[in-house]
Amino acid sequence: MGPEISQFLSGMKKTVEQVVIPNLTDRFAQEQAGIVVATLGFLEVIHDKALHYEVLENQLYKHLLSQIFSLFEQEKLDNKDVLASVEALREHFKTDSLADDCALRPYPFIRASNEVMKEGLCDIIQQQTAMPTKLRSEFEALLKPFFKDIEVRERSWVKALGFDTEADQLPDINELLYSDNKLRLPGNTS
């Protein structure tokens, strides 16, 4: 494959920065062009990691949802609405099975599957007020570390946009996604 995407991005960035912006006289246009340059810089950092970001999320959501299903079974949850959300997710797993590592799937397939899982999880979260206290507490205990992971992952993903005052303390997205040149998947923390 050639030329690589990074080459296009860096070429565009340099041209806008060094040719277009110096010749703009309108302040609004200058500001917008500056944002375009910053956006291109951001894309240079993240463009080759989007697929693996989604693969990782796919595995993490499957892992969490499996834990939630086990919890509900163990606690013999009988709330009809929550069970309907669980059933809808089980139906989805016929298309993208819990055991599928998604490595050979195209990006839109993974992204779509992840969105279905996110929507399903949100449905269950919204219905947690109907859960018995003990179950709700255990359910929330499963969510907390998952939310923390989301927080770090998303913050690392947008770090290169330059808003984050804690950027120095955050892992680079490359460092967060990979270890020994391999995607860090749940259960594979090496």
Partner 1 sequence: MTDYTTTLAQRSNPDDEWIANMRQRFPVEHAVDEVFTRKLNRRNESAEHSMDFANLPALLRDFLVKQTGQQDLVVENLQRLSGGASKEQFTFELSWQPEGSNERTTQQLMIRMDPTESIVETHRLREWQTLRAMQGEVPVPKVLWLDEKGDYLGQPAMIAEFLEGTVRPPSDDEKMSGVGMYFIPELRTALQEQFVEILVKIHGIDWRNKELSTFDVPKANSTQACEWALNLWQRAWQEDTLEAHPVMAQAAVWLRENMPVVEQPVIVHGDYRSGNFMYDDNLRINAIFDWELAYLGDFHDDLAWATLSLFGGPDEQGKGLASGLMPQEEFLERYEKLSGFTVDPKRLFYYHLFSYYKISVIAAATSLRVAHSKKTHLDAMMNFASGLGYLGLSELNRMLEKT
Residues 6+ apart with CB under 8 A from 114: 54, 57, 58, 61
Nearest approach in angstroms of CB 62 to partner 1 is 14
Would you put residue 171 in left (φ > 0), alpha (ψ -120 to 50) or beta? beta
The amino acid at residue 187 is G
User: Minimum Å distance from CB 22 to partner 1?
Assistant: 18
If binding means CB under 8 A, how many residues of this protein chain bind partner 1?
39
Q: State the minimum distance, in angstroms, from the CB of residue 171 to partner 1.
A: 14
Cα separation of 14 and 5, whole Å? Answer: 14
- Gap between the Cα atoms of 51 and 34, Å rounded: 27
65 is a site residue for partner 1 (CB under 8 A)? no
Helix/strand/coil for 23: helix
**Cβ contact 121:65 at 8 Å:** yes
Report the residue number, 43 or 77, with the smaller CB distance to partner 1.
43
Nearer to partner 1 (CB atom), residue 65 or residue 77 = 65
Q: Which of 48, 115, 172, 175 binds partner 1 (CB under 8 A)?
A: 115
Using the rule CB under 8 A, which residue among 4, 18, 31, 186 binds partner 1?
31
Q: Which is nearer to partner 1, 172 or 181 (CB)?
A: 172
SS3 assignment, position 179? strand
Contact status: 51 vs partner 1 (CB under 8 A)? no
Told to check if 36 binds partner 1 by CB under 8 A, we report yes
* 111 contacts partner 1 (rule: CB under 8 A): yes
